[in-house]
Structure formats: structure tokens, C-alpha cells
Amino acid sequence: MMVNLPRSGAPCKISPGGASMIVRKVRDQPRTTRQDLINDLKRAGTPVLKKTISNTLRRHGLKSCSARKVPLLKPAHVQARLKFANDHLDDPEEESNTTVVCSLGFKAGCLCKALLQPTSKATKEWLNKKHLKVLEWPSQSPDLNPIENLWRELEVRIAQRQPRNLKDLEKVCKWAKILAVCANLVKIYRRHMISVIANRGFCTKY
């Protein structure tokens, strides 16, 4: 005779067989979403919530996470990135005593990045008059542009300080260590080139 012994907590909503099925799918297809697993279990007659999926995966040593967003690279982008990395791999670290100051747009709590990108005709003419070298960055390549790392530093500082107006924003952006941060970005830039070459032109972390 079978006797149901008392136990603590609610019973698992996913059977051992169902748990094995979703764990196996996640290991075979790491980019599987929780919604995919919910649909699989629903077809098998077991409706569950996303939280149940996460708890089940966690019990089996798996964690759910969001996929890292990377630019969409076409073959032409990949080739351009690879060429850029090879062409500039051995560029010397050049120190400049010229600082380019750009205006910042501040509206509704957002920074306008476009204002800092030297693409306008007037900006290009100014750079040419000052005999400043401008690199032709390959498109879809934020990992090859050191300014992206500097933007990240600024975004973190702005999020921490929460400036209310342009004057407060300028105070946040003008911090004593900015020159050291820029110097370090230049120093480690060669690593980014090596990473792109090692990854055959595809996206890298930055």
C-alpha cells in the first residue's frame, strides 16, 4: 500500500521528465528563451510561468540571461573591420597637446551623442586646419572606437549624480581623472585590434 508522506512546500509544477527535456534543450541550444520552453511544456500539457522555468533551470545549475546586443555585421563590415585592425595594429601611441572641446546637448535627461561625432562639414574643416589626423572608422564597429568606453564612464557618472540641468551636467563630465582614463584607453587600444583579428573581424567585447 502506498502512503503519501507529508512534505514541506508546494510540489514541483514540472515533472522530472519535463525538467530533463528543458534542461537538455538549453544545453543543446543556449540561445533558447524562457518563452520557447514555456511553449514546449504547454504543448506537452504542462502550463507554467517564466519564474517556474527560471527556478527549474537554477536547480539544475543553469542561469537565464539576456543575450549581449551586438551590431549586425554584413560580410563587407567584417572585411572592413579586419582591414582596419591590421592597418592600425602597429600604430604608435601618440600624445597630443590639443584638446577638442564639443558642446553637449541636454534634454529630458538624455545626452545627444551625435553632437560629439566629427561628421559635419564644419567640424572636418576645423580638424583639417589644425592638421589633426582623423581615422575613418569602419561602420557598425563601436568596439573599435575608444570613445564608446569613455561614454560608458560618463553614463555611469551621470546615472550616479543625476544632474538636473546643463550646468550640473558639465560638472559631472569634468572630473579630474578624465585625462588618465583617456590615456589608458589609448594604451590598451592595441588589444582591441588583436581581439578583432583573432575573432576574424567579428564583434568583440569592449
Choose between 46 and 31: higher pLDDT.
Answer: 46
Q: Which helix (H) or strand (E) is 107 found in, with range?
A: strand 106-107
pLDDT for 82:
92
Res. 14: pLDDT tops 80: yes
pLDDT tens sequence across 60-90: 888 777 666 677 888 999 999 999 989 888 8
Res. 111: pLDDT tops 60: no
pLDDT for 197:
92
pLDDT for 115:
36
Distance CA 198, CA 200 (A): 5
Same domain, 48 and 81: no
Distance CA 83, CA 193 (A): 10
Mean pLDDT of 144-159: 80
Which residue stretches of 29-165 are H helix?
A: 34-43, 50-59, 75-87, 121-129, 147-161
In a domain, 163, yes or no: yes
Same domain, 53 and 145: no
Same domain, 109 and 179: yes
In a domain, 5, yes or no: no
Confidence of residue 105 (pLDDT cuts 50, 70, 90): very low
Cβ atoms within 10 Å of 57's Cβ, excluding its own: 18
pLDDT for 80:
92
pLDDT tens sequence across 162-181: 888 888 888 877 777 788 88
Nearest 5°: the CA angle 145, 150, 156 is 135
Question: What average pLDDT is seen over the chain?
Answer: 76
In a domain, 8, yes or no: no
In a domain, 55, yes or no: yes
The model scores a pTM over 0.75: no
pLDDT for 76:
92
Give the domain range for residue 30: 16-59
**How many residues appear in the chain?**
206
Same domain, 80 and 52: no
Same domain, 40 and 80: no
The answer to whether the CB of 142 falls within 8 A of the CB of 152 is no
Res. 110: pLDDT tops 70: no
Count of domains observed in the chain: 2
Same domain, 27 and 123: no
Mean pLDDT of 178-186: 83
In a domain, 151, yes or no: yes
Q: How far, rounded to the nearest angstrom, does the alpha carbon of residue 4 sit from its chain's CA centroid?
A: 51
In a domain, 158, yes or no: yes
Confidence of residue 118 (pLDDT cuts 50, 70, 90): very low
Same domain, 50 and 90: no
Distance CA 93, CA 128 (A): 21
Res. 96: pLDDT tops 50: no
Same domain, 184 and 88: yes
Choose between 190 and 136: higher pLDDT.
Answer: 190
Place of cell 555585421: 73
Q: What is the CATH number of the domain that holds 118?
A: 3.30.420.10
C-alpha cell at 148: 564608446
Burial 130-165 (b: 16+ CB within 10 A, else e): eeeeeeeebebbebbbbeebeeebbeeebeeeebee
